[in-house]
């Protein structure tokens, strides 16, 4: 039976799914364009055509999850967030959805990227991106108070979400409790900026 040809986008998604499976089952160190080609059942030139190098493959993998989370937050905020508490709940739920679904692979991809000299600052870049995303998401509900929040306050919000997400992944905290704590911290840290 002849296989149907995939569109470029579908092939890329398939390759990223396969890359995530390799990282989840064998670790990021096992992920190369060659092992990806073998696992995906394609030729090496196909993987190189999509990603150029292992570095670009890791970048695509980590960005995929960040984009998924951003889209999830936007969708939730559009439909459910009518006030600060609602926005905080949407952000907490979205963050934990992403963490539970992709956290181990995401962390491994980011750690592997950090080994490249040009990506040694990736953790700071990620932190700044999430702080900006939280500010954009919560800002409309803060009545101008978001301008009073120091960068340290946004970093604290990110730290709360990140560490409670890790606790859920590690089995140290039930997801529902982590979600409630993230939302509560977001409300407390934004309503009391001083």
pLDDT of residue 1: 37
pLDDT of residue 194: 53
Q: Counting Cβ atoms within 10 Å, is residue 74 exposed (0-12), middle (13-18) or buried (19+)? A: middle
Q: What is the pLDDT along the chain (194 residues), one digit of tens a residue?
A: 344 678 888 999 999 999 999 999 999 999 999 999 999 999 999 999 999 999 999 999 999 998 998 899 888 888 777 889 999 999 999 999 999 988 889 999 999 999 999 999 999 999 999 999 998 888 888 866 555 678 888 899 999 999 999 999 999 999 999 999 999 999 988 876 55
User: Helix 54-80 crosses helix 33-40 at what angle (to 10 degrees)?
Assistant: 70
Alpha-carbon gap, residue 15 to 185, rounded angstroms: 38
Phi-psi region of 155 (alpha: psi -120 to 50; beta: other; left: phi over 0): alpha
Select from 35, 31, 55 the least CA-distant residue to 44: 35
Q: What angle do CA 45, 46, 48 make, to 5 degrees?
A: 60
Q: Tell me the whole-structure pTM to 2 decimals.
A: 0.84
Within 8 A by CB and 6+ apart from 108, the residues are 23, 27, 28
pLDDT of residue 153: 87
pLDDT of residue 2: 40
Alpha-carbon gap, residue 62 to 7, rounded angstroms: 22
Alpha-carbon gap, residue 23 to 1, rounded angstroms: 31
Structure tokens at 175: 């997801």
């Amino acid at each position: 039976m002849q296989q149907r040809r995939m569109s470029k986008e579908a092939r890329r998604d398939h390759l990223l799914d396969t890359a995530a499976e390799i990282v989840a089952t064998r670790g990021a160190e096992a992920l190369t364009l060659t092992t990806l080609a073998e696992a995906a059942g394609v030729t090496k030139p196909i993987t190189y055509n999509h990603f150029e190098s292992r570095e670009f493959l890791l970048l695509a993998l980590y960005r995929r999850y960040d984009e998924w989370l951003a889209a999830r937050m936007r969708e939730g905020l559009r439909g459910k967030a009518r006030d600060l508490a609602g926005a905080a709940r949407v952000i907490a739920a979205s963050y934990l959805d992403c963490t539970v679904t992709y956290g181990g692979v995401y962390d491994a991809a980011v750690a592997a990227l950090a080994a490249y000299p040009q990506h040694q600052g990736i953790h700071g870049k990620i932190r700044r991106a999430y702080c900006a995303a939280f500010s954009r998401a919560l800002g409309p509900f803060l009545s101008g108070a978001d301008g009073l929040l120091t960068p340290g306050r946004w970093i604290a919000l990110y730290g709360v979400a990140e560490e409670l997400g890790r606790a859920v992944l590690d089995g140290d905290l039930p997801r529902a409790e982590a979600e409630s704590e993230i939302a509560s911290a977001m409300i407390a840290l934004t309503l009391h900026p001083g």
